[in-house]
Structure 1
Amino acid sequence: MGKKHDHIIETKVLNAINEAVLFVHEDGTVLRKNNAARTLFNLGTNKVVSIYELLDFADVIGHKEVNVILELKKQLGSWVKVKSLQIEQEQYCLIVRKLSLKDKMNGIDRFFQSFIEASEEGMIIHDGEKIIDCDATFARMFGYKEAEVKGQRMTTFFRKKRYKNNSIVKKANEYTGIKKNGTTFYVEVIGQSYFQDDVIRVEFIKDISERIQYERQIELMAYYDELTGLPNRNYFMSELEATLEHVKLSDELIAVHFIDLDYFKEINDTLGYDFGDKLLQACANRLRTFSDQNPFIARMGGDEFLVLQRNIRDVNMVTQFAEHLISEFETPIKISGYEMVISVSIGISIYPNHGRNVQDLIKHANSAMYVTKEEHRNNYHVFEASISRRFKQMLMMENDLRKALKKGQFELHYQPQKNIKTKKVVGMEALLRWKHPIKGYIPPMEFIPLAEKTGLIIEIGDWVMNEACKQNKRWQDEGFDPIVISVNLSVKQFHQKNLVNKTKQILQETGLEAQYLELELTESMAMANDRNILDTIESLRQLGVSVSIDDFGTGYSSLKYLSFFPITKLKIDKMFMDEKQEQNKAIVKSIIHMSHSLNMKVIAEGVETIEQLNFLRDENCDEIQGFYFSKPLPPHRLTKFFRH
């Protein structure tokens, strides 16, 4: 009586539950069911069936508790959510709830609706692994028919995420999509759950292949050098930063090699920028041959490269690697019919001795590289503390140089040039002086090379020519006899394409006649076998400006080339004024006689004794300049040398 009473109570309780409940044996036999189950599955009151006739029971066997989405076998297109509980070894309790997709679709967040309206996205409904339904857009996107998609596993269509989530859209993830024909593309997936337990989900899929391609292009521009394909400076700094974080936990050394191609500018200027680009690409490929040693190679910019050397046990490994780099570049490079050997100058900094952060390591390697270039090139130099001090001084001087021009700290002193026969001052050489407000006068040999290196010499040279012409015109306006003012030109100044026009403009602005201006070139500049140099000299002569060769005798001038150039005067270098050496006298005699045979005047600089003066007079030298007559002086102290 008690068991029957308990059964009645259980039946009433089961029938009071709105959801379908079935008790099923492992073999599929339905042991018990409530009224909701009879209604859902269209079962009669006493009809006993196998669960396999109703749905795919195999999906739940073996699980103590599981939630699955299954299709009703007798009602195709109808899906149910099944919660299965294993209550005994061979018995399961199934709680079944019918899904109404249309009702659920109406409840999807408005955000997804706006997402769909913005562009064409596909949609799928799945239970985690198995796809329940999809729309036509999704099927078309992946190259399937809708019917082919339903029931397939998610892994058929998606690979694991390959790109980090950069999207501004919440819950967006990026995957590699796999089309029916096997080709891949990139998709963005945004999902929302149907139920709180996340059993059934709706996903919206958007093709983002074009965006990924664009992002890749952006990444290439941001982290790779377009010309060589090597990582750029930004990428190198990021890699160095990551490497530093790693080696801080160990005793491992790392080294930064700062590489500069020797004489690249000259090659570029001579053979053209296209050739220079090809040379940079060839050098990048040469550096790639070291990939077996696992360095990180990048292009810093211009003709400079960076190499990060890792897994270093001692300093010997660093210097051996640098020597290997140098020797590798000794093999000729063939480009556009040319075969050339390009040498490299390398500066090295080593962690932790020469820096513990990215900036210091690169900066110190760069400083060491400049020492290599200044001393012997085609070599390497490991950073030392003294380099940093010297480099700092150079930077400070460069900064002071820029200020000097703006603040009027430069002066011109003039050294008189005298005709030996008439004893009359016929010219003045303008010599640059820098009066620093704190350090006083700085020797030209300290700042002129730096001005050349930084390019400031162009602006400074323009000021010198303008100021010298103004001063010469001022002397003429004061009633003194006209003289020639000599101005030295640097290599960079002389190679300006607008030098002739610039000279003409300065003469017009100052009112000085061209015949009273003389431009001095070094022997190596003037005698270079270059048609452009000859054209420039000829144009200056046509303008009426005199052109002389300074420091003559120190180079390797060819008399043949000398005869081609419209030079007006040769200046004998002061090193030949040492009368104690007989060969010097012979050289001076030869220069004087050769110049006169070519209708050129000769001036000797560095004349300091009466003996030198007498010797030059006897050899018919035309003019002299030196401390015997006068040292360089400021304008207000030179009036005594003029004759009215």
Structure 2
Amino acid sequence: MRIPYDAVLEGVIILKINYEGIIIYSNDYAQKKLGLDKNRLQTLQNIIFSNNYGTPEQFLRQFIKIDNKTNCNITFKDNTGELITTVCTIEKNKNNKEIDLSAVDVTKYDLISRKNKLYYHLLDTVHLLSDKYLLEQQHLSFLYDTVTGSPNKNYFIKYFEEYKGNNLVFIYLDADNFKSINDSFGRSFGDAVLKEIIKRVNNIKDINYIIGRFYADEFLILIEDFDTMEKINDFMELLSNIFDIPFTNNGISFGVSYSAGISLYPRDGKDFEDLLNNADLAMHRAKAEGKRNFIFYEPQFRQTILEKIYMESDLRKGITNNEFSLYYQPQVDMLTNEVCGFEALIRWLKPDGRIIPPFKFITSAEETGLMIPMGAWVIEEACKFINKLNNIGYHDIYIAVNISAVQIAQKNFVSEFIEIIERTKVNTKQLHLEITETVLMKDIEVNTAKIRELQNMGMIIALDDFGTGYSSLTYLKQLPINILKMDKSFVDEIGSGKKNLVRSIINLGHDLELKVVAEGVEDKAQLDYLSYYNCDILQGYIVSKPIPENQAIEFLKKPIKFK
């Protein structure tokens, strides 16, 4: 005997009927929607408006004849006279001479609008849920998302295991910047947008697919029996059109874009999790390339991820084993031709003798959060070197350290910096901080307040890579900076025959009472040009490559020889 589980089957009518058409059981939803009463005898004729098999009597006779289980369409009359369109799974219990009927209110769930395998898979699932044994372990919320009513991951896994003999398309879709909608308008507003996305996608016709919400603002679309890549691209064009239409809620109109990754069964995997992960990798690649796009999975994506994992593991080992060291590149005062300071540049000294430059590991360090302890270590090592220079008589030499976006974003950035200053007792006037325009502008009010606090302690602030970021003159006047550090790309244009902005940048810096540093200086033509237009400080291979601490000290003892 099947015992329905009323607590979770909202939107599902479950009935048990004997061979005379008398309703001997109805679940709570059926009682509420159809006006059934457990204490009053009612028959199938009272509630069926239409079905595939004629009158209710003909319907009953037909299903008494079936051997086991079948599907059909039934339209019920609710207790207000309105019609409820459903699709049903019907199964006969010969021993008890009863018929079990499970009907999904399609308008309630709005899950699948096409009459195909996906459509009836829903019915099979609902009917299984009325089995006593299964209902002790799972319920409808196990298979469907509680916010949108759409299939969740568990549903897709069940479907995949049943129909994976066909060609399938996994489209993993993420609504871009959805967090800002929740943050601005509230979670209930965001939930309404998620439901609208499901509704819009379900309106795409003439192709067999299903969409479900997986997590937060991420969805899976499964296309059945695709035959050409053109068919997939056509579908994605229809999907893009959906997101081109503004969303409106409570009188507020706004745009929502998406990023999607696509994997194909069986080409990109035989296992559900592999296909899902591959589509997810492709989706994140689409996001990294600018969002509002979709990308098909390629095997090298996984290799890229593995390389990042290996790099993170190596970084952790390197930090534990003290494999990092600071190298110092001299900066020369162009009036005196003497070293005025060094830029501290981190290097990774591998046990096998290799020296790994920062561009190969800094991004990974930032993405994994390892940049925070690494950055603190750099600052402290630079402070120790300043103290060493003072101890041997070099009281006017400064050390410049780079500050990353990850570091400055930490709430305790300033307090931890102050702890290092107090612990090392460094002369703050000999400590320069280099920070890019892009980093400062990410949260200009908060970040400039942090930098100004350090500047007020005596530290010198250099705006690094000037000219490659925002370069707004309005902001430039407001930023707490002492030095403009011209990007190497401008220096490279000197003597190239191209128009360059070097003279303009130098004049701009001087007009704002800032010193100007030119980095990446490599030849005499560049040196002469910078000298002619009164650049203050130069840095580059024409002076020296970055060198270890002991060599930097020796470098100070010799006169400058430009190479």
Q: TM-score, normalised by structure 1?
A: 0.61
Of 437, 450, 465, the residue aligned with 1:551 is 465
Cα 1:297–1:600 shift into 2, 3 Å: same
Query: What is the Cα deviation at residue 550 of structure 1?
Result: 0.8
Matched, 1:287 2:201: no
Deviations 1:47-73 (A, max 9, x none): xxxxxxxxxxxxxxxxxxxxxxxxxxx
Per the alignment, residue 162 of structure 2 pairs with 246
| Displacement after TM superposition at 1:402 (Å) | 3.0
1:180 corresponds to: 39
Q: Distance in 1 between matches of 2:505 and 2:486?
A: 8
Judged with a 3 Å threshold, the aligned counterparts in structure 2 of structure 1 residues 546 and 374 are, in CA distance, closer, same or farther, namely same
CA 1:554–1:158 in 2, change beyond 3 Å: closer, same or farther? closer
**In 1, Cα distance between equivalents of 2:191 and 2:377:** 36
Please report how far the alpha carbon of residue 501 of structure 1 lies from its aligned counterpart in structure 2 after TM superposition. 1.7
Superposed displacement of residue 534, structure 1: 3.0
Distance 1:286 1:329 in 2: 8
Counterpart in 1 of 2:488? 574
Any conservation in 2 of the 1:524–1:556 contact (CA below 8 Å)?
yes
Residues 309 and 281 (structure 1), Cα distance of their counterparts in 2 relative to 1, 3 Å cut: farther
- The counterpart of 2:505, out of the listed 591, 597, 601, is 591
State whether residues 23 and 41 of structure 2, in contact with CA within 8 Å, keep that contact through their aligned partners in structure 1.
Answer: no
Partner of 1:615: 529
The answer as to 2:313 corresponding to 1:399 is yes
Give the deviation of 1:528 after TM superposition.
5.9
Are 1:527 and 1:562, in contact at CA under 8 Å, matched by a contact in 2?
no
Summarize the Cα distance change of 1:611–1:389 in structure 2 as closer, same or farther, 3 Å threshold: same
- Paired residues for 1:442-481 under 5 Å: 442-481=356-395
1:322-361 deviations in Å (ceiling 9; x for gaps): 3322332222335688654332221111111101111210
> How much has 1:623 moved relative to structure 2?
0.8
Report the CA distance shift for 1:515/1:593 in structure 2 as closer, same or farther (over 3 A). Answer: same
Amino acid at match of 1:308: L
Rounded Cα–Cα distance in structure 1 between residues aligned with 2:279 and 2:216: 16
Residue in 2 aligned with 1:505?
A: 419
Aligned position for 1:364:
278
Deviations 1:150-173 (A, max 9, x none): xxx9x77644899xxxxxxxxxxx
Please say if 1:388 is aligned against 2:265. no
Deviations 1:259-285 (A, max 9, x none): 2344557x48xx947658845752453
Q: Secondary structure at the match of 2:433?
A: strand
Change (3 A) 1:280 1:543: farther
Query: How far apart, CA to CA, are the structure 2 residues paired with 1:561 and 1:182?
Result: 80
Unpaired segments ≥5 residues, structure 1:
1-128, 131-152, 163-176, 184-197, 200-211
Paired residue secondary structure (2:464): strand
Aligned length: 442
Give secondary structure in 1 for the equivalent of 2:434.
strand
CA RMSD of aligned residues (A): 3.8
Provide, for residues 171-215 of structure 1, a one-character-per-residue CA deviation record: whole Å limited to 9, x for no partner.
xxxxxx9543899xxxxxxxxxxxxxx99xxxxxxxxxxxx9xx9
CA 1:314–1:217: 2 relative to 1, 3 Å: same
- The equivalent of 1:441 in structure 2 is 355
1:240 aligned partner, one-letter code: F
Superposed, 1:70-109 pairs within 5 Å as: none
**Distance across 1 between alignment mates of 2:406 and 2:539:** 26
Q: For residue 381 of structure 1, give the secondary structure of its aligned residue in structure 2.
A: strand
% identity of equivalent residues:
34
Q: What secondary structure is seen at the aligned counterpart in 2 of 1:557?
A: coil
Distance 1:548 1:224, change over 3 A: farther
- Quick one: distance in 1 between partners of 2:184 and 2:376? 27
Alpha-carbon contact 1:417-1:625 (below 8 Å) kept: yes
Q: Using a 3 Å threshold, how does the CA distance of structure 1 residues 542 and 550 change in structure 2: closer, same or farther?
A: same
- Is 1:317 aligned with 2:231? yes
State the distance in 1 between where 2:368 and 2:530 align.
40
For the residues of structure 2 that align with 1:244 and 1:595, how far apart are their CA atoms?
A: 63
Checking the alignment, whether the CA contact within 8 Å between 1:275 and 1:335 is kept in structure 2 is no
Q: 1:506 to 1:529 in 2, by over 3 A?
A: closer
Change (3 A) 1:308 1:333: same
Residues 260 and 546 of structure 1: CA distance in aligned 2, closer, same or farther (over 3 Å): farther
Check the 8 A contact 1:519/1:546 in 2, yes or no.
yes
Change (3 A) 1:292 1:338: closer
Mark the CA change 1:552 to 1:316 in structure 2 (over 3 Å): closer, same or farther.
Answer: same
Secondary structure of the 1:354 match is coil
d(CA) in 1 for partners of 2:401 and 2:445?
A: 23
The whole-number CA distance in structure 1 between the counterparts of 2:217 and 2:424 is: 41
Letter in 1 for 2:415: N
**1:315–1:556 distance in 2 versus 1, CA, 3 Å:** same
Q: CA deviation at 1:507?
A: 1.3
Separation of aligned partners in 2, 1:525 and 1:478? 36
Per the alignment, do residues 325 and 544 of structure 1 end up closer, same or farther by CA in structure 2, a change over 3 Å counting? farther
Higher relative contact order (CA 8 A, sep 6+): 2
Summarize the Cα distance change of 1:556–1:225 in structure 2 as closer, same or farther, 3 Å threshold. same
**Structure 1 CA distance, aligned partners of 2:310 and 2:177?**
26
Deviation at 1:299, TM superposition (A): 4.0
Shift of 1:584: 4.9
Q: Is the 8 A contact 1:448 1:457 kept in 2?
A: yes
Change (3 A) 1:160 1:537: closer
Task: Pick closer, same or farther for the CA change 1:323–1:432 going to 2, 3 Å.
Answer: farther
Who is 1:150 aligned against?
A: none
Aligned equivalents of 2:269, 2:516: Cα separation in 1: 56
Which residue of the other structure, out of 427, 448, 456, is the alignment partner of 2:341?
427
Residue 628 of structure 1 aligns with which residue? 542
Per the alignment, in what secondary structure is the counterpart of residue 425 of structure 1? Answer: strand
Deviation at 1:572, TM superposition (A): 0.7
Distance 1:221 1:420, change over 3 A: farther
* Residue 600 (1) aligns with residue 511 (2): no
Q: In structure 2, how many angstroms separate the alpha carbons of the residues matched to 1:538 and 1:455?
A: 24
> What's the secondary structure of 1:638's corresponding residue?
helix
Structure-2 change in CA distance of 1:161 and 1:394 (3 Å): same
The question of 1:375 aligning with 2:234 is answered no
Structure 2 gap ranges (5+): 1-16, 30-35, 43-94, 97-131, 559-563
**Alpha-carbon deviation of 1:628?**
0.6
Secondary structure in structure 2 of the residue aligned to 1:355 = coil
Q: Please tell me the residue identity of whatever aligns with 1:257.
A: I
Give the direction of change, closer, same or farther, for the CA distance of 1:615–1:446 in structure 2 (3 Å limit).
same
Q: Secondary structure at the match of 1:428?
A: strand
SS at match of 1:363: helix
* 1:485 aligned partner: 399
- Deviation string, structure 1 residues 222-260 (Cα, Å, up to 9, x no partner): 66666x44668xx41x33332232224x4x211211223
